């Protein structure tokens, strides 16, 4: 492995939402163009690129080829599409990081793009359901992703005394910040706890306002080797550490429903490489963007990442410690909840870098 890998100011972001005005390639180009301009680079400078795309609902089954052609990216180092369900965008970034860290490329681009609105809602629900154990859970029992997280929310409520109102406060926070984000799907829309509590149930106790929306969106990030990074920008953002882990597809094989073990293990890896203990980690970070496909997911992430002990995440919500100025501000872009959740999108990192 060579020296450090940095994000060289090259970040781009398309508007999230129902983007019937743009094809997959056009949507990706909005992010790619912005990233290239941000880094003051040209398409020919990109030696390798990776597209994160979960797919299934989009007409394009070979998105890397389509994106590369439309965006004028034709590197000799090649390109590929990666999929890791809701972590597809992160997987693209990880793959691009490895390409630069290994010396296979000096400059690489990670692109996350998804066009979910090309399919009707029942089709999208089915394909998201396929991200679990499709034949056992979806076909036999009709378990959808809201149903998955409803199991987690009921377990958490039973174990730690959390209430539906507590989780609605997460939604209120994320809509508050999303309302100020012009790239967010729900830009300008704030909600109250009462509105959330009165929204219809999707899978009890998860309600509509506990849930992230179907979204079209794209984002892009440019990575460079240590030598080139210092030539491209005076303010490179160094990637200090990365952790990756995988859980079971079948929920019946998981030991409990109050946290995501894969998230905990990935965090453990990342922290260990930079000498951070997996407890009181809020001391080391100024802000965090975490996965919040449903409000329970955000609360579990507080604990999986070690910001607080297990069962104490809901206390952060009640005391508003995840707002700006609190113990650990979380999802200041609006999160998946209000910014939108294009499954393969690279939304979190790009917004933090801005």
Catalytic residue positions? 86, 341
Listing from the earlier edge strand, what are the strands of the sheet with 216-225? 79-82, 48-52, 107-115, 216-225, 5-13, 237-238
Rounded Cα distance, 282 and 259, in Å: 18
Q: Which residues on neighbouring strands pair with residue 237, listed in sequence order?
A: 7
């Amino acid at each position: 492995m060579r020296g450090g890998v940095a994000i060289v100011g090259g970040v781009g972001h398309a508007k999230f939402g129902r983007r019937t005005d743009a094809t997959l390639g056009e949507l990706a180009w909005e992010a790619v163009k912005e990233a290239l301009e941000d880094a003051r680079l040209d398409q020919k400078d990109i030696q390798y690129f990776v597209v994160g795309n979960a797919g299934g609902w989009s007409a394009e089954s070979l998105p890397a080829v389509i994106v590369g052609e439309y965006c004028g990216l034709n590197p000799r180092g090649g390109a590929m599409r990666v999929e890791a369900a809701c972590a597809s965008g992160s997987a693209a970034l990880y793959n691009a990081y490895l390409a630069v860290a290994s010396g296979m490329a000096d400059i690489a681009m990670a692109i996350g793009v998804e066009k979910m609105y090309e399919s009707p809602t029942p089709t999208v629900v089915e394909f998201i359901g396929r991200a679990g154990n499709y034949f056992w859970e979806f076909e036999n029992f009709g378990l959808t992703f809201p149903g998955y997280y409803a199991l987690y929310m009921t377990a958490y409520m039973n174990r730690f005394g959390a209430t539906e109102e507590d989780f609605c406060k997460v939604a209120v926070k994320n809509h508050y910040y999303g309302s100020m984000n012009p790239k967010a799907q729900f830009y300008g829309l704030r909600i109250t706890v009462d509105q959330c509590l009165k929204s219809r149930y999707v899978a009890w106790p998860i309600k509509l306002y506990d849930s992230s929306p179907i979204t079209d969106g794209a984002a892009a990030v440019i990575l460079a080797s240590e030598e080139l990074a210092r030539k491209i920008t005076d303010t490179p953002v160094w990637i200090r550490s990365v952790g990756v882990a995988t859980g079971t597809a079948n929920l019946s094989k998981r030991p409990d429903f109050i946290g995501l073990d894969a998230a905990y293990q990935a965090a453990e890896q990342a922290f260990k490489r930079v000498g951070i203990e997996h407890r009181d980690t809020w001391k080391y970070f100024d802000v965090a963007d975490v996965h919040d496909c449903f409000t329970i997911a955000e609360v579990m992430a507080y604990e999986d990442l070690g910001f607080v002990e297990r069962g104490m995440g809901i206390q952060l919500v009640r005391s508003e410690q995840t707002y700006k100025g609190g113990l650990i501000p979380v999802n200041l872009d609006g999160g998946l909840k209000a910014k939108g959740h294009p499954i393969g999108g690279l939304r979190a990192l790009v917004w933090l870098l801005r």
